[in-house]
Amino acid sequence: MKRIKRSAIFLSLLLGAGYGCITIKNDGVQATGSTAHSISDAKLFTAVWMQKSAEYKALSLQAYQLADLRLQEILTTQKPARPLAIVTDIDETFLDNSPYAIHQALQGKDFDPASWNEWVSKASADTIPGAWHFFYQAASQGVTIFYVTNRDQAARAATLKNLQKFNFPNADAAHLLTMSGSSSKQARRDSIAQNYTIALLLGDNLTDFSALFDNHPSEAARAAAVLNNKELFGKRFIVLPNPNYGDWENAIYQYKHLSPEQKAAAFQKDGAGY
């Protein structure tokens, strides 16, 4: 996994030739406050956390090792009528796109479709710790893996190339369910469930798990839906951490397309409590 060299605090960020190549210099100069609250700074910080913190690696391993425990329990205690399947999201569930996030943030930018498609076309995303071993192990025990992603149809070939680069099981057209029309994954999960018993679902976003979380719920509704279904987490739903983006962020914006300034304002609005 590509890693960055860090020695400090002041963001003298030197943009490298590729994706995610930054050096953070400690030159003793204090950052000014003018850009301290920009969304791109926040995105940089969280993406660097994903690349550099051992805690992120530990959380990823924890998720995949829990998934394996649950799978072994299911394999030994249940006799499903249909073959077992695992449904997994791709981005920030087992592929690491933090180099893209850093590339964008260093230019003061957030996600945008054109730059994202360019990154995806490279098929160069690395894997998240623990993921490959889990899927390999599951497949070796006869469990079929389905990749259910909101990457679009145009990204299918590059996505398969990225998965096949690591020899992920079932990395073929039949097991890759990209987005076509609705961003909800429920119809795709339903189509899998016609022929398989879904043992586990893995994702970094609540919509990866259930239609309970579809239709743009508010922050409060998302939190309530999680608490009301708490028995599913760690049992049927395995969640990977993603502080860099997701519906948690979209809910803050009430799912509106905002300017960077409006986004920053939305974040600062709710900081009360101190």
- Return the number of the residue (91 or 247) whose C-beta is nearest Mg ion: 91
Least distance in Å: CB of 272 to Mg ion?
30
Q: Is 247 in the site for Mg ion (CB under 5 A)?
A: no
Least distance in Å: CB of 191 to Mg ion?
20
- Please report, as residue ranges, which positions from 39 to 98 form the binding site for Mg ion (by CB under 5 A): 89, 91-92
- Return the number of the residue (92 or 126) whose C-beta is nearest Mg ion: 92
- Token couple for 183: 């961003």
Do the beta carbons of residue 64 and residue 134 sit within 8 Å?
Answer: yes
Q: Where are the alpha helices (DSSP H) in 78-210?
A: 98-105, 113-121, 131-140, 156-165, 186-193
- Return the number of the residue (93 or 144) whose C-beta is nearest Mg ion: 93
Rg (CA), the chain: 19
CA dihedral angle for residue 221, residue 56, residue 201, residue 70, rounded to 10 degrees: -120
- Return the number of the residue (170 or 207) whose C-beta is nearest Mg ion: 207
Count of other CB atoms within 10 angstroms of residue 159: 24
- Return the number of the residue (92 or 96) whose C-beta is nearest Mg ion: 92
- Please report, as residue ranges, which positions from 184 to 243 form the binding site for Mg ion (by CB under 5 A): 204
Least distance in Å: CB of 83 to Mg ion?
25
Least distance in Å: CB of 46 to Mg ion?
14
Question: How far is it, in rounded angstroms, from Cα 255 to Cα 260?
Answer: 14
Least distance in Å: CB of 242 to Mg ion?
7
Total residues binding Mg ion (CB under 5 A): 4
Least distance in Å: CB of 205 to Mg ion?
5
Point out the residue whose Cβ comes nearest to Mg ion.
Answer: 91
> Which residues touch 85 (CB under 8 Å, ≥6 apart)?
143, 144, 145, 146, 192, 196, 197, 198, 199
- Return the number of the residue (42 or 89) whose C-beta is nearest Mg ion: 89
- Given its phi and psi angles, is residue 216 left (phi above 0), alpha (psi -120 to 50 degrees) or beta? left
Question: How far is it, in rounded angstroms, from Cα 211 to Cα 144?
Answer: 22
> Which residues touch 250 (CB under 8 Å, ≥6 apart)?
216
Question: How far is it, in rounded angstroms, from Cα 274 to Cα 272?
Answer: 6
Least distance in Å: CB of 274 to Mg ion?
32
Site map (CB under 5 A) of Mg ion, residues 146-185, x = contact: ----------------------------------------
- Return the number of the residue (89 or 126) whose C-beta is nearest Mg ion: 89
Question: Footprint of Mg ion on this chain (CB under 5 A)?
Answer: 89, 91-92, 204
